[in-house]
Amino acid sequence: MATKRLATLALAGAMLLGACGQQPSDIAAPVATAPASNAAVRNLGLYELHIEGGAGKKAHAYVTRVGGAALSAQEVSGLTFTLKSVAVSGTDARSYAAVIGVENRGVSRIAVPTYVPVAVSNYTEAGTYFVQGATKTSDGSTVSASGITIAQAAGGTPLVNVTGITAADFSVPTGTTVESVSSQGWQSNAGLEAEAIQDVTFGFDIPAGNAAYRFSLVFGVFDKATPWINELSYDTAATNDAPEFVEVVVPAGVDTSNLSLVLYNGNGGASYRTDSFSSTIVSTTTVGNHSLYTFNYPVVNGGTLQNGAPDGLALCRGTELVQFISYEGEMVATNGCANGQTSMNIGVAQANTTPAGQSLQLNGSGNKYSDFTWQAPATATPGALNNGQTLN
């Protein structure tokens, strides 16, 4: 379906261009290569924004995916782009603002959608400019590369200085080299849920005289890597359920300074304990490019972690909710970062008959929560990969 929609967009774009007579110098049809993995960001794909217009001609824009049919491991399928409007202002100094509706037709949330311009070496105008292949449509001559800049359009998606994204984070088409990655890109203020749409405004300034132009912008789509709750033990046959713990996986490069783990009481919905990732109850181990943070709760009379049914726990980044799960049923939080949110019931449980030393764990292979599946109680693995779990 997504392929069909992209093909439709490409066809519409080709028709528009056909009316103007000349094709832009897009990069050659490529094949995706193996991605870098385990960086602080997830590479969701490489795309090309095509724009033409100016000098009284109505401006047009469309987006095509770079890389052909094969998706690399970290990319998401079903990310589609639909032009909603193009505005042009100015004469000698033209400002373009292309509003693109981005639809997440995948199955997992994109927490921090970020769009980063890249330079690609086989463009006709190689160099340090991210807008490539600009030509005058009047005579086909090349527009001077000087002065074409990305810009935030009035009211548009914020430009941000992007850290943690390097050329190594891209899977680029065969025969193509990413020469540099901009330190500045567009970033949405809100996460993009599965099956949701959000607008991104791409802005450009072109101080290049009173003529019509066409050009392309190649950009990578990224998401910050997201931590997830990986294992917990809240109820066993042991006295006071000891040891009670929760294990969280944090991909390399993720800032933990404003992360916290919050315990919620399913009876009423309020939180009953919050710990930062630098708390003295937390022990840390490293497995490959991931860190495992284990929250070792105090052994107290009756236990620290409530025994349901249900009870919940949330992973918070400041006041932002990262993840909200529960056991022995679903619940709605009434305060904290999960306030008003309904938990995801993990669907497996412990009881006071669960043998001491067993826990609930995710297994499977991947690098994000949705890659894994909760399992019935098994031998606990605090600070180590779970039974049957592989991180890549």
Q: Which residues sit at the interface with Ca ion, rule CB under 5 A? A: 231, 234-235, 241, 247, 265-267, 303, 305-307, 311, 381, 386
Residue 5: phi and psi, rounded to 5, are -65, -45
302 vs 54, 238, 298, 308, CA distance in Å?
72, 11, 11, 13
Element at 231 (helix H, strand E):
strand 228-233
Our CB check for Ca ion shows the closer of 60 and 368 to be: 368
Contacts of 368 by beta carbon, 8 Å cutoff, 6+ apart: 42, 108, 225, 226, 228
Name the minimum Å distance from CB 325 to Ca ion.
Answer: 14
Closest CA to 246 of 259, 263, 269, 226: 263
Our CB check for Ca ion shows the closer of 25 and 354 to be: 354
Name the minimum Å distance from CB 145 to Ca ion.
Answer: 52
Identity of the residue numbered 168: A
Name the minimum Å distance from CB 281 to Ca ion.
Answer: 15
Our CB check for Ca ion shows the closer of 152 and 240 to be: 240
DSSP bridge pairs for 332: 342
Name the minimum Å distance from CB 246 to Ca ion.
Answer: 10
Question: What is the distance between the alpha carbons of residues 143 and 134, in angstroms, rounded to a whole number?
Answer: 5
Name the minimum Å distance from CB 40 to Ca ion.
Answer: 22
Radius of gyration of the chain (CA): 25
Question: What is the distance between the alpha carbons of residues 152 and 159, in angstroms, rounded to a whole number?
Answer: 6
Our CB check for Ca ion shows the closer of 152 and 345 to be: 345
Our CB check for Ca ion shows the closer of 125 and 247 to be: 247
Our CB check for Ca ion shows the closer of 125 and 244 to be: 244
Name the minimum Å distance from CB 255 to Ca ion.
Answer: 22
Question: What is the distance between the alpha carbons of residues 140 and 161, in angstroms, rounded to a whole number?
Answer: 34
Name the minimum Å distance from CB 289 to Ca ion.
Answer: 16
CB-count exposure of residue 265 (10 Å: 0-12, 13-18, 19+)? middle
Our CB check for Ca ion shows the closer of 36 and 309 to be: 309
Name the minimum Å distance from CB 304 to Ca ion.
Answer: 7
Our CB check for Ca ion shows the closer of 55 and 348 to be: 348
Question: What is the distance between the alpha carbons of residues 22 and 40, in angstroms, rounded to a whole number?
Answer: 41
- Judge contact between 128 and 180, C-beta under 8 A: yes
What length is written for the chain?
392
Residue with the CB atom nearest Ca ion in the bound state: 303
